[in-house]
């Protein structure tokens, strides 16, 4: 998945703990092999290669996660859209390559979640037009940490954290103390803007500092607005706290694209969800659930 995976847990049985961590890592490899857009034989790559030509048979797992992506697209009025990859694949953040305006305009014609056609009965996926591509990077890591946490729970482990990049799923507490998740300062490496004490939740952070390059004073980063195929600039980072990682990561992308005002309205409409947003001016915004419990601790 292009990121570091970490598992921390408490167990009185070392062998059982090591076996559980190994099972989590096996699941991470499975998800990577299934959902990677970079591996030619992954299920996702097969969809991108063949779905414009006709229905492609997929696993129930893939059908379920694509169905959830459409739920997110409808919830956000298209701010979350896995077909962003129709333009996203034209960027190379390591090499500092971006599409020309002409290339981007052509690619954006294929963006639109309504171009992703699912048939639950036949268990197939089809694209409505040529040029459509999908990428699950908007919430695959959240899905992965959820699965990892479920594996640990099924093995009787109740105090743990599973982390994949900026996404974590927390089980229980740290034996009487909450887990602490730091929100990094988007522009000052090594500094934090807030620390969140958490237990039994998932948390995801999306930032414009994760994968990016700069050109002419403009930062091109990996979170793209599906309407334009370009990087939003009104927000530097979004952190979401939610019951599960699929939701927290998906919402982090939605709010990033929607901006502070629209994004916070969406968060306030969701049950058991909170957010911390750092806008382009460096101002910290947090949702009412966090305000009621007091603002996040600042460093």
Q: What CATH number does residue 229 fall under? A: 3.10.520.10
Residue 2: its pLDDT value, please? 74
* CB burial readout 158-192, b (16+ within 10 A) else e: ebbbbbbbbbbbbbbebeeeebebbbbbbeeeeee
Residue 3: its pLDDT value, please? 84
- List the single range of 45-59, 186-200, 237-251, 281-295 with lowest mean pLDDT: 281-295
Q: Within 13 Å of residue 106, how many CA atoms lie on the same side as its CB?
A: 9
Distance CA 288, CA 112 (A): 32
Does residue 294 carry a pLDDT above 80?
A: no
Distance CA 119, CA 116 (A): 10
Does residue 90 carry a pLDDT above 80?
A: yes
Residues in CB range of 145: below 8 A, 6 or more apart? 162, 163, 164, 167, 168, 169, 202, 245
Q: What is the overall mean pLDDT for the chain? A: 95
**What is the CB neighbour count within 10 angstroms for residue 19?**
13
Within a domain: 31: no
- DSSP label at residue 28: H
Residue 298: its pLDDT value, please? 47
Within a domain: 51: no
pLDDT digits (tens, 9 = 90+) for 142-179: 999 999 999 999 999 999 999 999 999 999 999 899 99
Percent of the residues in the chain that have a pLDDT greater than 90, as a whole number: 94
Helix (H), strand (E) at residue 181: strand 179-184
pLDDT digits (tens, 9 = 90+) for 239-274: 999 999 999 999 999 999 999 999 999 999 999 999
Average pLDDT over residues 26-35: 96
**Helix-helix angle 140-154:245-258, to 10 degrees:** 160
Q: Which long-range contacts (CB under 8 A, 24 or more apart) does 94-98 make?
A: 96/213, 96/215, 98/215, 98/220
Q: Do the bridges between strand 5-9 and strand 160-164 make them parallel or antiparallel, or are there none, so unpaired?
A: antiparallel
Within a domain: 183: yes
Within a domain: 207: yes
Is residue 212 a contact partner of residue 92, using CB atoms and an 8 Å limit? no
Within a domain: 132: no
The total domain count for the chain is 1
Residue 174: its pLDDT value, please? 93
Within a domain: 167: yes
Is residue 143 a contact partner of residue 246, using CB atoms and an 8 Å limit? yes
* CB burial readout 54-74, b (16+ within 10 A) else e: ebbebeeebbebbeebbebbe
- Which two structure tokens, joined as six digits, stand for 14? 């070392």
Is residue 131 a contact partner of residue 53, using CB atoms and an 8 Å limit? no
| pLDDT category of residue 299 using cuts at 50, 70 and 90 | very low
Residue 1: its pLDDT value, please? 67
| pLDDT category of residue 138 using cuts at 50, 70 and 90 | confident
Average pLDDT over residues 20-33: 97
Within a domain: 284: yes
Residue 157: its pLDDT value, please? 97
Structural domain for 186, as ranges: 159-292
Within a domain: 61: no
């Amino acid at each position: 998945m292009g990121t570091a995976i970490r598992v921390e847990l408490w167990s009185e049985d070392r062998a059982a703990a090591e076996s559980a961590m190994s099972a989590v890592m096996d699941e991470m490899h499975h998800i990577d092999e299934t959902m990677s857009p970079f591996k030619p034989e992954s299920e996702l790559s097969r969809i991108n290669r063949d779905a414009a030509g006709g229905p492609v048979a997929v696993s129930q797992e893939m059908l379920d996660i694509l169905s959830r992506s459409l739920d997110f697209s409808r919830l956000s009025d298209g701010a979350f859209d896995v077909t962003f990859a129709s333009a996203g694949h034209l960027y190379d953040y390591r090499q500092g390559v971006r599409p020309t305006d002409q290339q981007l305009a052509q690619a954006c014609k294929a963006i639109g979640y309504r171009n992703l056609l699912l048939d639950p009965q036949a268990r197939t996926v089809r694209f409505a037009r040529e040029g459509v591509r999908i990428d699950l990077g908007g919430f695959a890591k959240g899905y992965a940490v959820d699965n990892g946490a479920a594996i640990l729970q099924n093995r009787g482990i109740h105090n743990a954290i599973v982390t994949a990049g900026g996404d974590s799923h927390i089980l229980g507490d740290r034996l009487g103390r909450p887990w602490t998740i730091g929100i990094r300062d988007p522009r000052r490496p090594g500094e934090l803007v807030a620390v969140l004490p958490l237990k039994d939740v998932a948390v995801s952070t999306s930032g414009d500092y994760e994968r990016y390059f700069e050109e002419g004073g403009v930062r091109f980063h990996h979170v793209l607005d599906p309407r334009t195929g370009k990087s939003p600039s009104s927000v530097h980072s979004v952190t979401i706290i939610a019951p599960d990682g699929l939701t927290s990561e998906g919402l982090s992308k939605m709010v990033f694209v929607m901006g502070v005002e629209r994004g916070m309205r969406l968060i306030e409409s969701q049950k058991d969800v909170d957010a911390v947003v750092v806008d382009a001016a460096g101002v910290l915004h947090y949702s009412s659930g966090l305000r009621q419990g007091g603002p996040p601790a600042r460093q």
